[in-house]
Amino acid sequence: MPRSVSLRPATRQDMDRIYRWRNDPDIYRWFREQDDELEWHDHVEWFRNRPEGREDLIIEYLGRAVGVVSVAADGDVGIYIGEKRLWGRGLASAALEEALDGRDRTLSAEIRAENTASQRLFERHGFETVGRDGEWLQYRLERSQ
């Protein structure tokens, strides 16, 4: 697992980079609430109006931003590596481990049934399948409170 992975809060300076990642069809095809490219103004609106209590964390590898992990107030977790040349190197696993560290509540994730890489990632970190909503598998990680 890469030791050079760290997390930091997303800032306005990250908006261009996140916009580029969110508009990559190889990435947004796995998003539940996005099925096409975004207009810049929609992205800005999303960034400004993120729900209270949601953490959007930039994944950095060797000091460079490479992806995002988010944890919503209700415990829903999402993650992606935006720099595709770094896929398959364990960065998402290291970032997810760091994002989960110290959280003592139930966490959840929704993963498209055909996204076997994300399923394996979340399962390696203790998440279990608890249901299905159409093409989406529902995962949960029970933590002591």
Residues sharing a CB contact under 8 Å with residue 59, sequence separation 6 or more, in sequence order: 5, 6, 7, 65, 66, 67, 68, 69, 79, 81, 91, 92, 95
Q: Under a CB-based contact definition with an 8 Å cutoff, are residues 115 and 30 in contact?
A: yes
Give the CATH number for residue 33. Answer: 3.40.630.30
Angle between helices 15-22 and 40-48 (to 10 degrees): 120
Instruction: Quote the pLDDT of residue 143.
Output: 81
pLDDT band at 39 (very low <50, low <70, confident <90, very high): confident
Residue 36 included in any domain: yes
Residue 49 included in any domain: yes
Residue 126 included in any domain: no
Residue 9 included in any domain: yes
Which residue did the predictor score with more confidence, 136 or 3?
A: 136
Mean pLDDT, residues 49-77 taken together: 94
Residue 129 included in any domain: no
Domain of residue 71, residue span: 5-103
pLDDT(1) > 80: no
User: Cα–Cα distance between 74 and 66 in angstroms, integer?
Assistant: 25
Q: What is the pTM of this model?
A: 0.90
Domain count, the chain: 1
Residue 94 included in any domain: yes
Residue 97 included in any domain: yes
Instruction: Quote the pLDDT of residue 37.
Output: 79
